[in-house]
Amino acid sequence: MKVTTGHNVSVHYKGTLSDGTEFDNSRNRGEPMSFQVGSGQLLAGFNDAVVGMTIGETKTVTLVSNEAYGDPRPEAIQTIPRNAFAPDFEFEIGGTVQGNGPAGPFIAKIQAVEEESVTLDLNHPLAGQDLTFEVELVSVDSETDTISQD
C-alpha cells in the first residue's frame, strides 16, 4: 500500500546537517515516530517525502533552510534584564534556557551576558540550516482519517 494524505504512518528517520552532523535519530529513542500524513504536524517537505512510499522503503530528502525552519530572524534576538533570572542562575554563552514570555513558553540560546542584561536568541536552533532526512516507512494504518482542508 502506498502512503496517501490522511494515512497514519510510523517512520524511522535520521536528520543530519550539511556537514553530516546528526541532529536527531528516532532509532536512538528506540521507537519510530508516528503522525498523520497531511495534518501539518511536521515540516511540509518531510511530510511530502512520505507520500507514495511503501512499507520498508527508505528515502532521503534534503530541505533547504527556507523549506525547514527558515532563516534566522534578527527580531528573534532579544535583550532582557539579567534580574529576570534567578540570582544563582549560572549563565553559559551558547547554553540554552527555557522560559515563559508574552507569546508563551520558549527555548532560547544565550548569546551574551552583560552586567545588567542577557541577550537571547529565540530563533529555532535549526534556523538557517539545510536539513537532510533519511526516512524509512515502518507502518501504514489502512484506515484513512479525514483531514480538513480549511
Closest CA to 53 of 64, 69, 37: 37
Given this model, what pLDDT does residue 143 score?
A: 63
Q: What is the pTM of this model?
A: 0.79
Q: What architecture is the 8-69+127-141 domain classified under in CATH?
A: Roll (3.10)
* β-strand pairing of 131-141 with 8-17: antiparallel
Alpha carbon 40 to its chain centroid, in Å, reads: 13
Beta pairing partners, 101: 104
**Domain spans of the chain, in order of start:** 8-69+127-141, 74-121
Given this model, what pLDDT does residue 52 score?
A: 97
138, three cell numbers: 515502518
CA distance 137 to 144: 16
CA distance 135 to 146: 24
Over the chain (150 residues), the average pLDDT of each successive run of 10 is 95 98 96 96 96 98 96 95 93 92 87 96 95 98 55
Task: Evaluate whether 8-69+127-141 and 74-121 have a shared fold.
Answer: no
H or E element that contains 48: helix 44-50
CATH number of 74-121: 2.40.10.330
73, three cell numbers: 530572524
Half-sphere exposure of 17 (CA within 13 A, CB side): 10
Q: Which long-range contacts (CB under 8 A, 24 or more apart) does 73-77 make?
A: 73/123, 73/127, 76/121, 76/122, 76/123, 77/111, 77/119, 77/120, 77/121, 77/122, 77/123
Given this model, what pLDDT does residue 69 score?
A: 95
